[in-house]
Structures are given as structure tokens and as C-alpha cells.
Chains A and B, each alone.
Chain A
């Protein structure tokens, strides 16, 4: 039954592709850092216009960039793209659940702290 098994990684993706992905990953990380520097760090002073237009989107942009990085590693380095669908489901479902839980907890806590019933009268 060994013919069932996924063929080796090399069959799908050559070293060259790994290198290409590595380059993209670095570019993305560099963009993250640059984004931070542009919005809040050293570059802020030299390009104030860019800074003010980007900083409201800072968090969202960061999340998109890292999600993309995450996706690249998972799909190509972890080979999910070519592997069994079950594995994609398994990982995908856990990730979605994990994200929902983080978001829900975060919402519950910030929401609680801002609404009146947590107002807190000094005792």
C-alpha cells in the first residue's frame, strides 16, 4: 500500500522554489519593520506624510503581512499545499478556532472595561 504515500517533498518543489519563498519571507519581514519605523519609529520624522496616512492602518497591515508569511511557511515549507486535504482541514480549523478565541477574549475584556457597569466607584 505504500503507493498511497505522498511522494517526497522534492518531487513537487525544488530547492529553487524554497529559495524564492525565503526571499519573499524576508521581504515581508523587512516590510513589517519598515512599516513600524515609518509609522512610529526612526523614519517617522523624515516622512511625516506617509506616517500619518499609514499609522491608522498599522495593525491591520501588520496582520495581513504576517498572515501572508504564515501562509507561505505553512503551505510550502510545511508542505500543506501538496499534502492530504485532511491535514489542511485539521490545521485550518484549529487556526480559525484559535483566532476566534483570541478575538472573543479580547472583545469581552475591552468591552467590559469600557462600559458603565464596570465604571468602578472609588471605595
Chain B
């Protein structure tokens, strides 16, 4: 690599081409934007898959897609939405806003951050590449053994899944280490833990979940990969392997994972409500402790996904009760949000609409969750459309509503333009209507006995009308994202220029220009209270602070761009792909793996010795 970091450090930044700039960037804001853009595209792909699913299920005995393709569709839909849409969209907010909210110039390990991004993008592309080979994963998003074994899934379909998830897991773990460290160690002076913005708390707790649950799925995937590629029998029956082990390991990861998907959403809503109610968050410390408690309990309830396996009454009772307990801290959150609104002066801007929609819809999903927690009743609901209704209410009604709220709220800070309010509200109403029309009927069709993951159903069981409603709803829901996309394009072309602080925000990111300059804070902020910006305004006796000037970054050192994160990511992907394409040769690793491994190792070595002294930006 001729372009060493040192050259960057001293050559003028302007010379770099835009492409190289983005490929080598270690700026958390650029990385955040790339996370967001790629995740939104993956979200649309996942949504498109859902639309095909819904079209197939529109009427009984439909023949739009083959059974196998249907299985690929829902597997990829679930996998995409969870790992390639909701998690990385959350990661976009982590990246862009955690440093801003805590008053830092960047994350603790900018190059590691870039590596997380590239591994994520490569992993996502790799997973979706399988469609081109007509061999997309088809074993469901939880890939139960032995259906996922070589014997019952001989093609490369499940190899893509195993390796894809393995890759994504590494990205998440690296980001987990990074953000945990950043939050603990990079806070502005005076920002004690209990003065941190609540979103930052949510991220911190989420990272604890990532760090402690992803290793479990990593090991499980390693076993599955060994089973599929090297002839072991961890989950194969032929040598007494036990498929229950897979289920346990998957859900030991899987349940914390769903809180990984929802806690950032809790955090975003907890930031938005106070700003638009013009009133601080009600019960800040209870909010913090309830999140910690949810996370903690989240590790002790995994077997509620396995009530139908017949674990025996003692285990069923334990997991049933433990699961119900989670309703208590979650209830505390809901009530504290209402307490935040109570007595406020609600400013009905688009972000508030979505945040309120989130609360209303999440309650519904949470309550159906509690119904699932009743183990005997769950024997009727598990693997029926009732579950599908439950988890879309928490995942879409919860996570997506909240992430959308976050997008409208923080868009001006990220891009310096305000999204159109009228279109935003239209987006909200269409989404709310479409969402409920899609998923509310699923509760009933589930109770009426429709199993999930079936590619068609016979007429005469009473499923027809409800499914048709869901399908209509799904298209309505999809069109709400067309409105959103149009809003983005329109704003891009001719949106209103955003001031630094369009919403009368409470947190530090609103004190700097929109969009922020590369170094975020020209002057390191010092924090003396929660909601520091409100404190500042109150002290100054103004409603809006004077627009902060864009300043020259003379003398500010930033970390240098680097190629190594991208190179290491490519090497890592190559290594794993090599394992996949190895066809049962005697030698465990093929030449592709070895090349990949060598690239990774070399990359890490060069990375470790690359000077990190920054360059002085000139813009």
C-alpha cells in the first residue's frame, strides 16, 4: 500500500478522491452514515421479501413462488431485518451520536470502528449474494438443527447463513468493545455516569448484551460449521449429537438479541419525549435501572422459546415466571414515558408522532409477549401466526417506529437539512394504518390455527379474509416507506437549511453546527448537569442559543484515515468463504482460506504499527 497513513497525515486532505476518503475514513460520523445508508437499503430488500411473502399468502393455495423459494424468502427476511436492518440502523445512531452526546471527538478506537462497518457491509453483501446463486438460506432465521445439517440441507444455502452470521457477529463484537470503552472513558469532563443522556445508557446496556450473548452464537455457529464442513456431529443424530443443544445455545443468544434490538429504541424515544414535551425525562434513574434489569433478566428466560419441546414442568415454570418478571421493568419504562408527557407542553412535530406511535404499539407487542410467557397457553400459540404478530409489534411497532422517530429527530443534525413535516406526518399515518392492518389480523389468524412458515394454506380453514387484510396492509405499509424515500430525496434537493438546534434540544449535539464539523467540538465541552444544553439556555435566559459559527480546525489533531480496517475485513471474509467452498478435502483449510488468513494477519500487523498521529484538517 503506497498510501501509508503518514502521507495522509501531512499531504493535504483535499487531494484525496471522494471514494478513497470514504473507504479509508475513520470519522465516526461518516461511518455512521455508511451504516445507515447500507442498512436502509438492506431494510428495503427485507421489506421487498416481505411483500413477496404477503403476496404469496394473499389467497389460499397460491402458487406465486415455489415452496423452497418461499422458505428462502422468510429466512432471508428475518435474518436481514434483524441483522442487516435494525441492528445496523441502531449502529448508525450509536456511531453518529454517542460521541456527540458525550462530548467527544470520536470513538475510543476509530479504526476498529471502521473495521466493524466494513465487516458488516461485506457480511450483508455476502448473505444477499446467495440469491444470485439461487441458494439463499432456507432454514429459518433460527436455523434449527438437524434441518440445517449437511444431511437435510445439502446445498450451500445454509453455508451462506452460517458464515454470514459469523461475519456479522464479529462486526457486532468489535463494535461492542469499542462503544463500551467509548462510553465509559470518553465522556466530557463533568459528565458523570448519572448525567449521561439516557440514549447513551441504552447503548451501554445494549453493548453489554452484545458482548455477553454474541460469543454464545459464535460458538454455536462454529459447531454448525464444523458439522457441515468437517464432519463433526455436534447436532447430528448419527453420532448422538443433540439438536436440543443448538436450540439452547441459539436462544441463550436469541433472547438477549431481541433486547439488543429494542433497548436502543427505548433510548431514542427517551431522548425525544422530553424535548417535545419540553420537560425532563420522568424518573431518570428508574429508567436507567429498569434497562439494566431488563438486560439482566434477559439472560435468564431463553427457554420460553422452547416450551413446546417438553422440557418438563419445573423448567417450564421457571422460564415462564422469569419471563413474566420482565414486564415489570418494562412497565416502569412505559409509565415513566407517560409521566414525561404528563404536564408537558407537547410540540407535535414528526419525531413526536413516531415516538408516541412507538409507545402505543410496543404496549401491544409487550402484552402479547406476556401471553406467550404463559407456558401452557404458549403451547397453542408457539409457531403460529400469533407469534408473528407478537414479534412484529415489538420489532416493527417497537424498533422501527422508534428508529424512524430517531431519523426525523436527528436528520437535521446529520445532514443539515430538515425533513419535510407534512410528508413526515403523512408517512406516520400511512405507516400506523398499514402496520396495524398488516399485523393485527395475524393475532387472530394465529389463534385460528395458522402455523407460521407455511408457503400456502388450504381454503376452508377460515384463514382467507384475514390473510388478504394482512397483504393489503403490507402494501400500505410498504408505500409509507415510499413517502419516506420521497421525503429524503425532496429534502436532499431543496430542504430547509437546519439551524444548529431546531427542536430546542437538551443535549450536547445541538450545541454545534448542523452538520457537525469533522472534529465535532471546537472546544471541549464541560458538563455540570443532566440536560446540559437546557441548563445553558436557562442560565443565559434565552430560548435559542446563538448559532455556533463554523470554525477552522487549525491545530486540532484527528486520527488519520487508514486502509487497514478495510483490508482486514476483506481478509476475514476471504478466510471464511474459503472454509465454505472447501469440498471435503483431507486438508482442513483450502488455499482461499489460507490466503484470507494471511491477509488478515498481515493487515492486523500493519495496523498495529501504523502511526495514529492525526492530520490537521483544513476545512
Identify the A interface with B (CB < 8 A): 86, 94, 97, 100-101, 105, 108-109, 111-112, 115, 117
Give the 9 A-B CB pairs with smallest separation, nearest first.
A117-B310, A115-B312, A105-B248, A97-B212, A97-B299, A94-B212, A108-B315, A101-B252, A117-B312
A117 contacts which chain B residues (CB < 8 A)?
310, 312
Cβ–Cβ contact A112 & B252, under 8 A: no
B184 A111 Cβ-Cβ under 8 A: no
Asked if B303 is at the interface (CB within 8 A of a chain A CB), the reply is: yes
Asked if A111 and B212 make an inter-chain contact with CB atoms under 8 angstroms apart, the answer reads no
CA distance A97 to B212 in the complex (A): 9
Given contacts A101-B299, A112-B244, 9 further A-B contacts (CB under 8 A): A86-B184, A97-B299, A100-B299, A100-B300, A105-B252, A108-B248, A108-B315, A109-B244, A117-B310
B315 touches A111 (CB 8 A): yes
Whether B311 sits at the interface, judged by CB under 8 Å, is yes
Q: From B303, which residue of chain A is reached at the shortest CB distance? A: A108
Can you name 27 A-B pairs with beta carbons within 8 Å?
A86-B184, A94-B212, A97-B212, A97-B299, A100-B299, A100-B300, A101-B216, A101-B252, A101-B299, A105-B248, A105-B252, A108-B248, A108-B303, A108-B311, A108-B315, A109-B242, A109-B244, A109-B245, A111-B312, A111-B314, A111-B315, A112-B244, A112-B311, A112-B312, A115-B312, A117-B310, A117-B312
User: In whole Å, how far is B245's beta carbon from the nearest beta carbon of chain A?
Assistant: 8
| Docked complex Cα distance between A109 and B184 (Å) | 38
Tell me, in angstroms, the Cα distance from A36 to B242 when the chains sit together.
Answer: 31
For A101, list chain B residues within 8 Å (CB): 216, 252, 299
B218 to chain A, nearest CB (A): 14
Residues of chain B with a CB closer than 8 A to A86's CB: 184
Of residues 229 to 247 in B, which have CB atoms within 8 Å of A's CB atoms? 242, 244-245
Q: Identify the closest chain A residue to B309 (Cβ).
A: A112
**B563 to A: closest C-beta gap in Å:** 32
> CB-nearest residue of chain A relative to B249?
A105
Residues of B within 8 A of A94 (CB): 212
Residues of B with C-beta under 8 A to A108: 248, 303, 311, 315
Smallest beta-carbon distance B320→chain A, Å: 15
Q: How far is the CA of A100 from the CA of B297 in the complex (A)?
A: 13
Contact with A along B10-24 (1 / 0, CB 8 A): 000000000000000
> Looking across the interface, which residue of chain B has its beta carbon closest to that of A86?
B184
Determine the chain B residues whose CB is within 8 A of the CB of A97 once the complex forms: 212, 299
- By size class, the interface of chain B is 10 to 19
In the complex the two chains form, what is the Cα distance from A105 to B216 in whole Å? 12
Q: Chain A contacts of B314 at CB under 8 A?
A: 111
The interface bits of chain B over 248-268 (1 if a CB of A lies within 8 angstroms of the residue's CB, else 0) are 100010000000000000000
CB distance from B604 to the nearest CB of A (A): 24
CB-CB < 8 A to A105: which residues of B? Answer: 248, 252
Rounded to whole Å, the gap between the CB of A105 and the closest CB of chain B is 6
0/1 string, B307-346, CB within 8 A of A gives 1: 0001110110000000000000000000000000000000
Residues of B within 8 A of A109 (CB): 242, 244-245
Nearest CB in chain A to that of B185: its residue: A86
How close is A104's CB to chain B, nearest CB, in angstroms? 8
Chain A residues closer than 8 Å to B216, beta-carbon distance: 101
For B248, the chain A residues whose CB sits under 8 A away are 105, 108
Residue of A nearest to B193 (CB): A86
CB-CB < 8 A to A112: which residues of B?
244, 311-312
Closest residue of chain B to A116 (Cβ to Cβ) is B312
Residue of A nearest to B208 (CB): A93
A94–B312 alpha-carbon span in the complex (Å): 28
- Alpha-carbon separation in the docked complex, A86 to B185 (Å): 11
Contacts of B311 on A, CB cut-off 8 Å?
Answer: 108, 112
Cα A112 to Cα B309 in complex, Å, equals 11
Q: Smallest CB–CB gap between A89 and chain B, Å?
A: 11
Closest to B314 in A: A111
Residues of A within 8 A of B244 (CB): 109, 112
Question: Min CB distance, B522 to chain A, in Å?
Answer: 20
User: Measured between alpha carbons, how far is A112 from B310 in the docked complex, in Å?
Assistant: 9
The smallest C-beta distance from A5 to any residue of chain B, in angstroms, reads 12
B172 CB, nearest partner CB in chain A, Å: 17
CB distance from A108 to the nearest CB of B (A): 6
A100–B315 Cα distance when bound, in Å, is 15
A113 CB, min distance to chain B CBs, angstroms: 9
- Rounded to whole angstroms, the CA-CA distance of A41 and B212 in the bound complex is 38
Q: How far is the CA of A94 from the CA of B252 in the complex (A)?
A: 14
Please report the C-alpha to C-alpha distance between residue A94 and residue B299 in the assembled complex, in whole angstroms.
11
Q: CA A94 – CA B311 in complex, angstroms?
A: 26
Residues of A within 8 A of B242 (CB): 109
Could you say which residues of chain A place their CB within 8 Å of the CB of B245? 109
Q: What is the CA–CA distance of A115 and B315 in the complex, to the nearest angstrom?
A: 12
How far, in angstroms, from A28 to B216 measured CA to CA in the complex? 31
CB contacts (< 8 Å) of A100 on chain B: these are 299-300
**CA A1 to CA B311, docked complex, whole Å:** 55
A94, B300: Cα distance in complex, Å: 14
> In whole angstroms, what is the CA distance A109 to B248 when docked?
10
Task: Using CB atoms, name the residue of chain A closest to B184.
Answer: A86
Q: How far is the CA of A117 from the CA of B184 in the complex (A)?
A: 49
Q: How far is the CB of A119 from chain B (nearest CB, A)?
A: 12
Q: Give the distance in Å from the alpha carbon of A109 to the alpha carbon of B299 in the complex.
A: 18
CB distance from B394 to the nearest CB of A (A): 24
The distance in angstroms between the C-alpha atoms of A108 and B310, with both chains bound, is 11
A94 to B315 alpha-carbon distance, docked (Å): 23
What separation, in Å, do the CA atoms of A11 and B244 have in the docked complex? 51
Q: How far is the CB of B315 from chain A (nearest CB, A)?
A: 6
Smallest Cβ-Cβ distance to A104: which chain B residue: B300
Q: CA separation between A115 and B312, bound complex, in Å?
A: 8
- Output the least CB separation between B540 and chain A (Å): 28
A117 to B316, CA, bound (A): 14
B108 to chain A, nearest CB (A): 15
Expressed in whole angstroms, the Cα–Cα distance for A117 and B300 within the complex equals 24
Rounded to whole angstroms, the CA-CA distance of A105 and B244 in the bound complex is: 10
The interface residues of chain A lying within 8 Å CB-to-CB of B184 are 86
